[in-house]
Amino acid sequence: SDNTVYRASTTAPVNIAVIKYWGKRDAALNLPTNSSLSVTLSQKSLKTHTTASCSASYTGADSLLLNDEPEDIQSNKRTQACLQLLKRFRHDIEVKNPSAPKLSTMPLKLVSINNFPTAAGLASSAAGFAALVRAIANLYELPHTPTQLSLVARQGSGSACRSLMGGYVAWRAGTARDGSDSIAEEIAPVSHWPNLKALILVVSADKKGVASTAGMQTTVETSTLFKTRAESIVPQRMEEMEAAIHAKDFAKFAEITMRDSNSFHATCLDSWPPIHYLNDVSRAAMNAVETCNRKAGKLIAAYTFDAGPNAVIYYEEENEKLVAGVFRYVLQQVKGWEGEYGAQIPSNEQG
Ligand code: PMV
């Protein structure tokens, strides 16, 4: 038999939402209750590297090694959904072109490495599923665009659909029941606003809190604030945020970013049982941002928090000294930060 090993490698970046995805209208298909918008971070500091290979000589089931540890992907519905879709796309190519090797029938070996601690709660699933989908799409030589592949990555982890593109990315919630219009698209490339940067503050004593899927479910079912957020607040913010990004209006970008993070965490606190992702260290970071903005007399820094206590601070490069100075001063008095004042991650450098 043929022992050829087919192989492809790729990397995918982390993205941090400035308008948050929180709530599923369809849990099986990972369809969101609202659209969301994110900034893709530089691959210099945070990325997943994935190699996908397949061969008729491989035996057994598809497998995934994540940071040298075998993952149970057979019982993982999300991973299975991604693999099945990609194999179907490959199968379609093989049907049209009978001389194409039958990769869709061969076992897959996937090897993924994060260049950041998976346990740090840094949106690792977004980079992870984006890299997995892109690597297999390359291996299978699929003609699909990043937006078309976002449909696949979305089924692995919602936020992963936004990591297939660089720059500023919108995930349109869509209305179709089959999710065919729930896709991500780049609204502006990195080069549009190259001096926008992100400072990531990793809380060292990080405990695994409520997982996003379970947390979303609780919020959708119990929060009294949630309906207004999903139905009227976020749609209006999406429009305002896109306009702010197109105009490179940092003050507007910062206001919407902070208000949307606070709105998301308010619906978490308003859930029953309540969900607490922020802690005293997170609140110290919010205070530091407020200090920066007070000192500057305008909005020059913005905080945002995902489903955990780590802070991401957006600012423009020309204000780096002021922002870093305030954070160094404030956070050295607060226990719980990695290093002196966290890891500094520019969002605008290509990996
Ligand atoms: O992609 P998930 O299911 O891990 O959900 C991510 C949710 C947030 O990170 C809190 C918000 C977002 O839009 O990324």
- Pocket probe for ligand 1: among 21, 26, 171, the residue whose CB has the most ligand atoms within 8 Å is 21
- With the C-alpha atoms ordered 191, 155, 264, 176, is the resulting torsion angle positive or negative? positive
Residue with CA nearest ligand 1 atom 10: 306
Predicted confidence (pLDDT) at residue 335 exceeds the cutoff of 60? no
Predicted confidence (pLDDT) at residue 208 exceeds the cutoff of 90? no
Cα of 307 from ligand 1 centre, angstroms: 7
Q: What is the pLDDT of residues 59-76, one digit of tens each?
A: 999 999 999 999 999 999
Cα of 102 from ligand 1 centre, angstroms: 36
Looking at ligand 1, which atom is closest to the CA of residue 158?
Answer: 1
Tell me what percent of the residues of the chain surpass a pLDDT of 70: 90
Cα of 268 from ligand 1 centre, angstroms: 13
Interface pTM (ipTM) of the complex?
A: 0.99
Chosen CATH of 5-192 out of 3.40.50.10210, 1.10.1740.10, 3.10.150.10, 3.30.230.10: 3.30.230.10
CA-closest candidate to residue 200, choices 116, 112, 75, 74 = 116
Cα of 100 from ligand 1 centre, angstroms: 38
Q: Grade residue 351 by pLDDT with cuts at 50, 70 and 90.
A: very low
Bridging pattern class, strands 196-201 and 343-345: antiparallel
Q: What is the pLDDT of residue 172?
A: 98
Q: What is the pLDDT of residue 2?
A: 84
Sheet holding 196-201, edge to edge: 301-305, 311-316, 196-201, 343-345
Q: Grade residue 345 by pLDDT with cuts at 50, 70 and 90.
A: very low
Predicted confidence (pLDDT) at residue 234 exceeds the cutoff of 50? yes
Looking at ligand 1, which atom is closest to the CA of residue 19?
Answer: 13
Q: What is the pLDDT of residue 346?
A: 40
How far is residue 53's CA from residue 109's CA, in Å, rounded to a whole number?
5
Cα of 16 from ligand 1 centre, angstroms: 9
Looking at ligand 1, which atom is closest to the CA of residue 307?
Answer: 10
Binding-site residues, ligand 1, Cβ < 6 A: 17, 20-22, 36, 123, 125, 157-159, 212-213, 306-307
Cα of 158 from ligand 1 centre, angstroms: 7
Q: What is the pLDDT of residue 19?
A: 98
| Overall pTM surpassing 0.95 (yes/no) | no
How far is residue 285's CA from residue 263's CA, in Å, rounded to a whole number?
17
Residue with CA nearest ligand 1 atom 9: 306
The 10 Å Cβ neighbour count of residue 287 is 14
Cα of 306 from ligand 1 centre, angstroms: 7
Q: What is the pLDDT of residue 338?
A: 44
How far is residue 328's CA from residue 62's CA, in Å, rounded to a whole number?
47
Q: What is the pLDDT of residues 162-194, one digit of tens each?
A: 999 999 999 999 999 999 999 999 999 999 999
The 10 Å Cβ neighbour count of residue 336 is 17
Q: What is the pLDDT of residue 330?
A: 75
Q: What is the pLDDT of residues 251-310, one digit of tens each?
A: 999 999 999 999 999 999 999 999 999 998 899 999 999 999 999 999 999 999 999 888
All CATH 3.30.70.890 domain ranges of the chain, comma separated, are 196-345
Q: Grade residue 348 by pLDDT with cuts at 50, 70 and 90.
A: very low
Predicted confidence (pLDDT) at residue 44 exceeds the cutoff of 80? no
Looking at ligand 1, which atom is closest to the CA of residue 21?
Answer: 13
Bridging pattern class, strands 108-114 and 63-66: parallel
Q: Grade residue 349 by pLDDT with cuts at 50, 70 and 90.
A: very low
Distance of alpha carbon 140 from its chain centroid, rounded?
A: 24
Predicted confidence (pLDDT) at residue 333 exceeds the cutoff of 70? no
Q: What is the mean pLDDT of the chain?
A: 91
Q: What is the pLDDT of residue 115?
A: 83
Cα of 8 from ligand 1 centre, angstroms: 27
Residue with CA nearest ligand 1 atom 8: 306
Predicted confidence (pLDDT) at residue 205 exceeds the cutoff of 60? no
SS3 264: helix
Class of domain 196-345: alpha beta
Looking at ligand 1, which atom is closest to the CA of residue 157?
Answer: 1
Report, as an integer, the average pLDDT of 222-243. Answer: 98
Q: What is the pLDDT of residue 281?
A: 86
Q: Grade residue 334 by pLDDT with cuts at 50, 70 and 90.
A: low
All CATH 3.30.230.10 domain ranges of the chain, comma separated, are 5-192
Better-scored residue on pLDDT, 47 or 340: 47
Q: What is the pLDDT of residue 46?
A: 83
